Structure 1
Amino acid sequence: MKIIQKFTLAFGLFLMVTTIYAQDKPNIVYILVDNWGWGDIRIQGGSIPTPRIDALAQEGLRMTNFNVESQCVPTRSAIMTGRLPIRSGTHRVTYGLPYGMSPWEYTLPELLSDAGYNTALFGKWHLGDREGRLPTDQGFDQWFGIKNTSDEAGYSSTAQFDSSVVAQPYIWEGEKGQPSRKVKPFNLESRKTIDREIIERSEAFIAQQAQSEKPFFTYISLTQVHPPWGYHSDFDNASGHGLYGDILMELDYNIGRVLDSLSKAGLAKNTIVILSGDNGAVTDMGGGSTGPWRVGFTGYEGGLRTVGMIRWPEKIKAGRVSDEIFSTLDWMPTLANLIGEKKRIPQDRPIDGIDQSKFITGSQEKSDREHILFYIGEDLFSVKWRSFKIHLKTTETIWSPIQTYQFPPVYDVANDPHEDNNLIKFNMFAHSWVYAPMEKILQEKATSMQKYPNIKPGVDFEGY
């Protein structure tokens, strides 16, 4: 009997210590905006007022050299895994071909769930559209949103649409351990209100978590600012500057509601809030600004840089602005270290993300990252090293042909943000020494990829 009592007491103490330990961990809210230009916020030169976003930027660290991947799928994969998407077979958007993140990948929500977090996704997934590759298969306790791209909202509006060839797209919801369920058709009408529904569900989740003894992670993946254009009727002509301006005002309002829900629940102080875009604006489709950087959805800086900021009251100094290099790949290892769970970062595969916790918290001013590799599909388009940018291939717009070079052009983006002055040409090869660090980086990656071959898109990979 005494043995049973001792066991019961010991187990009770274990649960109590585990609960206290979990309560000490910060909550994490990641708000991801789709196709968001670096210059789409007022604090970075935008013409449309974005007061809630600007205020958030001043309450923590705003990164002006925050780098993403080339398209929706690869950026989301990078956030989830900390691995170059080319490794995971998630390096491009596919239409009608197998795709999605392999269940073998160990994701950020899986890491956080294993560390005692409640997890939820509200919004766009775009990392697999079949059972086994949905959010609740990859670490989320629950989800609501769309499986694929916002493009699908426009499918049924075309006169030739044939649902026997491509099924009518839907908005979905689901819980871990159960099949996901259809909520309603995703079309041009529901496209107008989906972000409002995402926000309302996020608010309800946050309010619910205030009563929980566990920390939480919520990934709020908004569909704005991705075509087809549509927004809630509350914002009809709100900006006085047309459709795109109205969408940006709705976006600012929605982000403000998330922040308000944290404050109302008494959770703001112990919550890390991350706000970023997934790729630069497509500026020739009705709006969007890449700021001083050359055009988005290319290997130029307008395709690499987007909005990036993080707030953690009393841990990250308010009002800090940095132009140090940070990659979306860095979130997984950085967050794992910030919450004291670096032991959960996988050791059986290459992790391309870098722990940037010292940079984020301000214990060091310099980033630990010196370079960015920028792929478009299977092709490496550019390498950024320090302030230099080397282009192996270029395309002038998302619709343009691809150009290759005998001598890759080199630009100094610190002094030439629009990448107009090719230093190889104008300085008569004096800057060709910049090829040397690029060669070293590429040799290291090639060696790693030979040891750990890249996963093919859609393959059910089972490990190295």
Structure 2
Amino acid sequence: MNFFKRILVSSLFLSSFSVIAENKPNIVYILVDNWGWGDLSIQGSTIETPSIDKFANQGLRLTNFNVQNQCTPTRSALHTGRLPIRSGNQKVPAPGEPDGLAYWEYTLPELLSDAGYHTTLFGKWHVGANIKKLPNYQGYDYFWGTQEGTNAAGYTATPQWDPTVATTPYIYEGVKDKDAKKVKIFDIEAKITLDNEVTKRAIENIKTQAKTDKPFYSYIAFTHFHPPFTVHPDFKNASKAGIYADTQMEVDHNIGKVLEAIDEAGIADNTVVILTGDNGAGNFPQTSALAAGEDGGGGSNGPWRGGLSTAYEGGLRTPAMIRYPNKIKAGRVSDEIVGDIDMYTTIASFAGADNLVPKDRPIDGVNQKDFFLGKQEKSNRDHFIVFVGDDLFAIKWRNMKMHFMATESTHSVAVTKFTFPQLFDIKNDPKEAYELWGNQGYVHGWVMEPIMKKIVDLKKSMAVYRNIQPGEEFKGYDKN
């Protein structure tokens, strides 16, 4: 941890020592990239995903789990518990643009480290490409994986590739507070086997950590289903339905192997396992996201409209489930609203480290531990605010969804700004197709009151605690 972060938490260390000695659950967070809500058979896919389905039935399945509309913002939210626009990570940065988390941010792995956990990241980072902004400088004891978007695997395959003007992508390995080392070039060939390697390394880490007296946090960030679409040779043509379906089978297999390792290590009863996506499946133009020589592709966002980079439900809802044997009731399903920003505070609570959650900055996430444990039927969240880049596009409140701006698909050519906000009942209209104000004479105008209160409260907070700019080395808010 750097100097500024150490000053921030120094007053909390004495109280944290007392909870370190307590029995703490291990925590494994599995993140799937660009994962459509309908990409698992328990939620409608015709491609069987038996390992994921089994896991879903072992705990709580969340059908209304909401994330940001792109990779980087969601990963920022998971690591800080803050809306990504606050941390300067509100969009995927183009190569060369300022990016990453300010060192001042108190990340989830830093919090868990201070709570006595060993922390690792295997797979995709994508919250800062600079060598000094990689996970091993943001709280992780060990990191093995990629630093930027998975599309980087295709850079060197383009005919125009010129390493004299663009940085060659690599897979990195690093330990806490030391510069990570290059392992090998991250290209199409490397991507084909990357998730398989991530799985094997994550499993070895689980086996090793299970033999220690120290609890561990393992963040496993797969690169599937991010373009360029590739699949491990063991699953090529396995589905007889194209590369995307083959990849569904590979993802299911890899998740199953991780869960099997936890069981075989004898730590399942004391391990919280969380599985989510980072945004919905992309609405890509036909064949545009495929690796060279491949055919097919395209995921399912189930009944929901839109996908990656939109503010419609298809871009925001991803598969989500959590297992904690004998603590979380098996087979429970909930459509209560939960957000990615909630995982920071919730995981901290599972770790017995609520006291380490910062008080000097806005934390937008709420603690969902009691809801997950079944101590209450309702989520502690009744709304979810959606930014696309710098712009407030939409807000979901209860079963209502209001859009101020919209874009239809991942590669839309235009952004629409509405004269009147558009309002939908997403419970009865998952396609967000029947606009209530225009069709029902504004009788739902009352919905503006609770929704505008959420927005006004957020604007007031941002006026007091200004948003960090992308790449800014922010040092903290004025305590006066």
State TM-score, norm by structure 2.
Answer: 0.92
Aligned to 1:293: 304
Map 1:280-429 → 2, pairs under 5 A: 280-285=280-285, 286-297=297-308, 298-400=310-412, 401-429=414-442
Q: CA deviation at 1:281?
A: 0.3
> Would you say the 8 A contact 2:87–2:470 is kept in 1?
yes
Q: Which deviates more from structure 2 when the two are superposed, residues 234-243 or residues 345-354?
A: 234-243
Write the distance in 2 (CA, Å) between the matches of 1:428 and 1:390.
16
SS at match of 1:409: strand
Cα distance change of structure 1 residues 359 and 349 upon mapping to structure 2, 3 Å threshold: same
CA distance in 2, matches of 1:303, 1:28: 26
Letter aligned with residue 77 of structure 1: S
Structure-2 residue corresponding to 1:3? none
What is the alpha-carbon distance in structure 2 between the residues aligned to residue 177 and residue 202 of structure 1? 21
Q: 2:10: which partner in 1?
A: none
Q: Secondary structure at the match of 2:341?
A: helix
- How many correspondences in the alignment? 449
Superposition deviation, residue 142 in structure 1: 0.3
Contact 2:123/2:220 (8 A) holds in 1: yes
Preserved contact between residue 71 and residue 278 of structure 2 (Cα < 8 Å): yes
CA distance in 1: counterparts of 2:377 and 2:19, whole angstroms: 32
* 2:53 is aligned with 1:54: yes
**2-side partners of 1:154 and 1:67: how far apart?**
29
Per-residue CA deviation, residues 291-316 of structure 1 (Å, 9 max, x unaligned), is 00001121111011011100000010
**1:377-406 Cα deviation digits (max 9, x unpaired):** 001110000000000001111222100111
* Equivalent position amino acid for 2:302 in 1: G
Task: Tell me how far 1:20 sits from its aligned partner.
Answer: 9.4
User: 1:46 Cα shift?
Assistant: 0.7
Letter matched to residue 225 of structure 2: V
SS at match of 1:439: helix
Contact 2:278–2:318 (Cα < 8 Å) also in 1 = yes
The CA distance in 2 between the partners of 1:345 and 1:73, in whole Å, is 22
Kindly provide the amino acid, as one letter, of the partner of residue 52 in structure 2: I
* Secondary structure in structure 1 of the residue aligned to 2:282: coil
Question: Aligned with 1:213: secondary structure?
Answer: coil
Aligned 1:422-461 pairs, distance under 5 A: 422-461=435-474
For the residue of structure 1 that corresponds to 2:131, the secondary structure is: coil
> Superposed, which structure 2 residues align to 1:129-168 within 5 Å?
129-168=129-168
Alignment match, 1:8: none
Moved segments of 4+, more than 6 Å: 17-20
SS in structure 1 at match of 2:274: strand
What are the superposed Cα offsets for residues 207-265 of structure 1, whole Å, 9 maximum, x if unpaired? 10011110000000000000001111000111111110000000000000100111111
Aligned to 2:291: none
Note the C-alpha offset of 1:179.
1.2
Question: CA separation in 2, counterparts of 1:19 and 1:88?
Answer: 31
Kindly state the Cα deviation for residue 18 of structure 1 after the two structures are TM-superposed: 6.6
Asked if 2 retains the 8 angstrom alpha-carbon contact of 1:23 and 1:213, the reply is no
User: What residue in structure 2 maps to residue 253 of structure 1?
Assistant: 253
- Distance between the aligned counterparts of 2:56 and 2:195, measured in 1? 22
Listed as ranges, the matches of 1:218-233 within 5 Å are 218-233=218-233
CA change 1:21–1:456 in 2 (3 A) is: closer
Query: What is the TM-score of this pair, normalised by structure 1?
Result: 0.95
How far apart are residue 168 of structure 1 and its match?
A: 1.3
- Describe the SS at the equivalent of 1:349: coil
Distance in structure 2 (CA, Å) of the matches to 1:445 and 1:30: 28
Please say if residues 348 and 357 of structure 2, whose CA atoms lie closer than 8 Å, have aligned partners that are also in contact. Answer: yes
Q: 1:457 is paired with a residue of what secondary structure?
A: coil
Moved more, 333-342 or 76-85: 333-342
Alignment of 1:154-193 (within 5 A): 154-193=154-193
Residue identity opposite 1:320 in structure 2: R
Q: 1-side partners of 2:198 and 2:22: how far apart?
A: 26
In 1: Cα distance, 2:209 partner to 2:47 partner: 34
Shift of 1:348: 0.2
Q: Secondary structure at the match of 1:405?
A: strand
Q: Residues of 1 paired with 2:125 and 2:22: CA distance? A: 28
CA distance in 2, matches of 1:168, 1:349: 37
Shift, 1:134, TM fit? 1.1
**What SS is found at the alignment partner of 2:133?**
coil
Q: How far apart are the structure 2 equivalents of 1:62 and 1:337?
A: 20
Q: Alignment partner of 1:32: what SS?
A: strand
| Paired residues of 2:65 and 2:319 also in contact (CA < 8 A) | yes
Q: Do the aligned residues in 2 keep the contact of 1:19 with 1:214 (CA within 8 Å)?
A: no
SS in 1 for 2:421: coil
Kindly indicate whether the alpha-carbon contact (under 8 Å) linking 2:81 and 2:363 is maintained by their aligned counterparts in 1: yes
Is 1:82–1:330's contact at 8 Å kept on the other side of the alignment?
A: yes
2:73 aligns with 74
Deviation at 1:133, TM superposition (A): 1.4
Deviations 1:119-178 (A, max 9, x none): 000000001112331101111000000000101000000000000111211011011132
Amino acid at match of 1:385: W
Structure 1 residue 112 and structure 2 residue 142: aligned?
no
Counterpart residue number, 1:5: none
The answer for unaligned runs of 5 or more in structure 1 is: 1-16
Tell me: CA distance 1:414–1:22, structure 2 relative to 1, closer, same or farther (3 Å): same
Does the CA-based 8 Å contact 1:103-1:132 persist in structure 2? Answer: no
Q: Which residue of 2 aligns with 1:28?
A: 27
Q: CA deviation at 1:267?
A: 1.0
Shift of 1:284: 3.3
2:132 match: secondary structure: coil
Residues 31 and 275 in structure 1, CA contact (< 8 A), matched pair in contact too: yes
